[in-house]
């Protein structure tokens, strides 16, 4: 998957002209993949059941395969010897932790209660989505928007650690303790740390290890220049293929549910749209305010706005059942998130034209 990394020649080159053909029509491919998934889910009897049966420990094997193919090329591009420049940036790390683990869940909690106070199942499902911070597709959106690859790798790894440590605790706080304090309805969430850790290992650990080993072995045998000029361009398109494959699967799994309950989907979509807008634009403004360059500001914004819908769906299904309203809310998450974050890629690139260069 190519990036809009054309050298700065002093000329104003349109954003679209700096993208590869595949990336230029990304929104079209994604909309087609969503439509194909929804169509397959409706037209092929038993397809959703067959796909759902292909899982181990609550992890869907087809979706895990799609995410591995999607994330591997991007993580093979990361220059792991530059990670120390990211870990030394306390502004970025602290800001990311605050917006992801304090602001994000609180914003989703508030929006869920404002828009879905009369629909407790959907409300609970949205809150679960807000607790599951992104560790997967964000690397794609970040890469397309010319964010900092190394920073994205560090932040998703940091999110992974916190996900294992505090997901269950935050679920108890936002679904039981805080509603009780406020005199609202409560709903419990019983999810094991093992399930969360397994999710992190599959959706981040495997492609991260594969990308690291590819970079390490490739540079040793080919040299960095040849590795980046010869091998990476061959791997790049597979990120988009994996993304589209994953989207088709996700929407095929719940095609019947989504298309048979359009009004419910619309009710769930409204707070999700508000959430993505608040988190992305707020984090982008924060990054610029604290003096981050365009690339790390973009990374901060996408890692804050994205959510780990794979984990949210798995937790909702395991806790409340596959036909529950909580599970439907989780499935609607990527239905809204994918096109919105694709649009925000273009918003970020347009803002790059006016962004002050980072110091040094």
Classify residue 5: in a domain, yes or no.
Answer: no
Classify residue 11: in a domain, yes or no.
Answer: no
Q: Which residues, 6+ apart, have CB-to-CB distance to 215 below 8 Å?
A: 76, 77, 78, 79, 80, 227
Note down the domain range covering 331.
19-351
Q: How many domains does the chain have?
A: 1
In 10 A of CB 9, how many CB atoms? 7
Classify residue 3: in a domain, yes or no.
Answer: no
Residue 311 · residue 330 · CB < 8 Å: no
Distance, CA of 188 to CA of 267 (rounded, Å) = 23
Tokens 């038993």 belong to residue: 46
Classify residue 208: in a domain, yes or no.
Answer: yes
pTM: 0.77
pLDDT at 195: 67
Classify residue 8: in a domain, yes or no.
Answer: no
Looking at the chain, which runs of residues are DSSP E strands? Answer: 55-56, 59-60
Single out the residue of 109, 25, 24, 66 nearest to residue 251, CA to CA.
Answer: 66
Classify residue 68: in a domain, yes or no.
Answer: yes
Distance, CA of 272 to CA of 332 (rounded, Å) = 9
Classify residue 221: in a domain, yes or no.
Answer: yes
CATH of residue 71: 1.20.1530.20
Classify residue 4: in a domain, yes or no.
Answer: no
Per-residue pLDDT of the chain (360 residues; tens, 9 = 90+): 555 454 444 444 444 445 556 666 776 787 888 888 888 877 877 776 777 677 776 667 887 788 788 778 877 877 777 767 777 788 999 999 999 999 999 999 999 999 998 888 899 999 999 988 887 678 778 888 889 988 888 888 888 778 877 888 888 888 888 888 888 777 766 666 676 677 677 776 788 888 889 988 998 899 888 988 888 888 878 878 887 887 788 778 767 777 777 888 899 999 999 999 999 999 999 999 998 989 999 999 999 998 877 777 777 766 776 667 887 888 788 778 888 988 899 899 888 876 755 544
């Amino acid at each position: 998957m190519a990036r809009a990394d054309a050298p700065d020649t002093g000329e104003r080159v349109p954003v679209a002209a700096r993208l590869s053909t595949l990336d230029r029509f990304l929104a079209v491919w994604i909309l087609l993949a969503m439509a194909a998934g929804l169509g397959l889910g409706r037209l092929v009897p038993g397809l959703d059941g067959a796909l759902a049966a292909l899982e181990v420990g609550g992890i869907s094997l087809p979706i895990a395969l799609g995410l591995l193919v999607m994330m591997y090329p991007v993580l093979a591009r990361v220059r792991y010897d530059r990670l120390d420049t990211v870990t030394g940036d306390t502004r970025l790390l602290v800001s990311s932790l605050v917006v992801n683990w304090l602001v994000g869940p609180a914003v989703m909690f508030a929006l869920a209660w404002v828009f879905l106070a009369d629909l407790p199942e959907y409300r609970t499902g949205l809150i679960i989505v807000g607790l599951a911070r992104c560790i997967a597709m964000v690397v794609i959106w970040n890469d397309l928007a010319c964010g900092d690859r190394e920073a994205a790798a560090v932040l998703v790894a940091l999110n992974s650690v916190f996900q294992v440590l505090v997901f269950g605790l935050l679920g108890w706080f936002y679904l039981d303790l805080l509603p009780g304090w406020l005199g609202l309805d409560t709903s419990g969430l019983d999810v094991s740390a093992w399930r969360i850790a397994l999710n992190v290992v599959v959706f981040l650990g495997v492609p991260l290890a594969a990308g690291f080993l590819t970079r390490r072995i490739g540079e040793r045998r080919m040299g960095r220049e040849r590795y980046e000029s010869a091998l990476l361009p061959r791997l790049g398109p597979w990120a988009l293929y994996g993304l589209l494959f994953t989207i088709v699967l996700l929407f095929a799994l719940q095609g019947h549910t989504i298309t048979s309950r359009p009004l419910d989907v619309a009710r769930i979509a409204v707070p999700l749209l508000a959430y993505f807008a608040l988190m992305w634009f707020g984090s982008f403004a924060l990054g610029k305010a604290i003096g981050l360059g365009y690339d790390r500001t973009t990374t901060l914004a996408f890692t804050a706005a994205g959510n780990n819908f794979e984990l949210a769906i798995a937790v909702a299904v395991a806790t409340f059942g596959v036909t529950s309203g909580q599970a439907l809310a989780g499935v609607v998450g990527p239905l809204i998130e994918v096109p919105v974050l694709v649009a925000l890629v273009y918003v970020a690139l347009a803002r790059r034209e006016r962004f002050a260069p980072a110091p040094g």
